[in-house]
Amino acid sequence: MEFFNLHTHKWTNQPNVLELVNQYPQEFDATIPYYSIGIHPWFIVEERIEADLAIIKSKLYEANCLAVGECGLDKRIGIPMEMQQMVFEKQLLLAQQYQKPVVIHCVAAFQELITMKKKMNISVPMLIHGFSKNTQVAKQLVDNGFYISFGKYLLLNKELETVFKSVPDNRFFLETDTVEEGIEAVYELAAKYKGVSIKEIQEQVNSNFLEVFKIRI
């Protein structure tokens, strides 16, 4: 595996890239080789929650379902926080039951996220995707056992260089999310910021992948 893209909404089918493609229960595409599946907080539909969870559960048996998510908490949307927490909690329990990592969407709710992890005693890896906050938040997340994935905002915001450099090498991943740039561009920038070669970034991400996902691809 030359490149691993932790989170993308678009499968590009490149032979040298392993893409963890985000899937939603109601729009599942069985042709995608490796994916995560979850209920995004933006797309919670109250009368469909149990049906969506049943679909997620049915996919967690499959080897090419690598993670639960993206799921999480978002304080900047209209869906009540209590409902978001309930849906997220149910997905965390599934992840724990089936021993799958969790790809997390979190907006303005990092304290709640950390509290839930502790309260529920979640031991599977929890990965914050699309990180865009400061060094202090990053350190708090790392100190509480989270992994942090960088991509879109790393490309867009030069101020994230310091944040990215502060994250331990064994705790970061790289992604594209919704940007047009390929994952190679993210690797190039990550290598520049860390002051190492792209090959060294590849080796580190592959090591982190093995540690989190427990599979060799």
φ, ψ at 55 (rounded to 5°): -65, -45
User: What are the percentages of helix, strand and coil residues in the chain, rounded to 5?
Assistant: 45, 20, 35
Whole-number Å distance between alpha carbons of 62 and 109? 31
Residue 40 among known ligand-binding residues: no
φ, ψ at 196 (rounded to 5°): -130, 180
Tokens describing residue 114: 């950390």
Residue 9 among known ligand-binding residues: no
Q: Of 187, 180, 183, 150, give the one whose Cα is nearest residue 166.
A: 150
Crossing angle of helices 135-143 and 110-120, rounded to 10°: 0
For residue 14, the 8-state DSSP code is: -
CA 153 to chain centroid, in Å, comes to 14
Residue 7 among known ligand-binding residues: no
- What is the SS3 assignment for 10? coil
Q: Of 67, 70, 26, 72, give the one whose Cα is nearest residue 49.
A: 26
Residue 143 among known ligand-binding residues: no
Which residue numbers belong to the known binding site for a divalent metal cation? 70, 105, 129, 177
Which residue numbers belong to the known binding site? 70, 105, 129, 177
